[in-house]
Amino acid sequence: MRIEPLIEKEALRRRVREIADRLWRDYADSPLTVLCVLEGAGRFTDDLLQHLAERGLVPERLDVRAHRSEGTVLGPVTIEHFDPDVLEGRDVLVIDDLADEGVTLQGILDIVDLGEPRTRKVCVLLDKVSRRIEPVPLDYVGFPIENVWVIGYGMDVDGEYRDLDWIGVLKDDRF
């Protein structure tokens, strides 16, 4: 197994700062609730919120875990231990690591919408548009990428490589 660099540490830091600047401009005057899709988006969310806090914006953060399979069978998206009613009337930003097929992300948005937020936007670090099945709306995108298996900066394979401070492409016969 080998890893090829895709996005270096400094490029990540710069882009996260740019997204935080946009978020601050968009939400400086309104309370914001951030919905972080774990595990992959945890580090991205941490860094975004740190930059926002430096500007005086401290959103409420809710962490969720979403699933759409049981064993090997794909089904509807479920979010563990989450009541969408807590989002009623709020400005909500869903943060995910990767927009791939869009099916899971759209399922999350459908659940969020049940809570009747005032506004709902989506922020992803990576956009793999070539694999999109569901046309999910992406309001803030870090980087568009090709159809490759990425690791690092919160993303893993079998629990490994999540702690890298850069993003790489996993080169392996399995992927």
pLDDT class of 39 with cuts at 50, 70, 90: confident
DSSP 130: G
Q: How many percent of the chain have pLDDT more than 90?
A: 72
pLDDT of 160 reads 86
Q: pLDDT (tens digit, 9 = 90+) per residue, 60-88?
A: 999 998 876 555 456 777 788 889 999 99
Q: How many percent of the chain have pLDDT more than 70?
A: 94
Q: What is the pLDDT averaged over residues 114-131?
A: 96
Q: What is the pLDDT averaged over residues 35-56?
A: 95
pLDDT of 85 reads 95
Contacts of 104 (CB under 8 A, 6+ apart): 66, 68, 77
How far out from the chain centre does Cα 136 lie?
13
pLDDT of 80 reads 82
Give the residue from 140, 148, 152 showing the smallest Cα distance to 9. Answer: 152
User: What span, in angstroms and rounded, lies between the C-alpha atoms of 107 and 33?
Assistant: 18
pLDDT of 174 reads 62
- Average pLDDT value over all residues in the chain: 91
User: What span, in angstroms and rounded, lies between the C-alpha atoms of 171 and 175?
Assistant: 7
pLDDT class of 51 with cuts at 50, 70, 90: very high
127 is catalytic: no
- Of these residues, 47, 100, 127, 165, which one is catalytic? 100
Contact 134, 102 (CB under 8 A): yes
pLDDT of 156 reads 85
Domains in the chain and their CATH numbers? 2-171 (3.40.50.2020)
pLDDT of 1 reads 73
pLDDT of 96 reads 96
pLDDT of 70 reads 56
Q: pLDDT (tens digit, 9 = 90+) per residue, 125-171?
A: 999 999 899 999 999 999 999 999 999 999 988 888 999 999 999 88
Q: Is the pTM of this model over 0.85?
A: yes
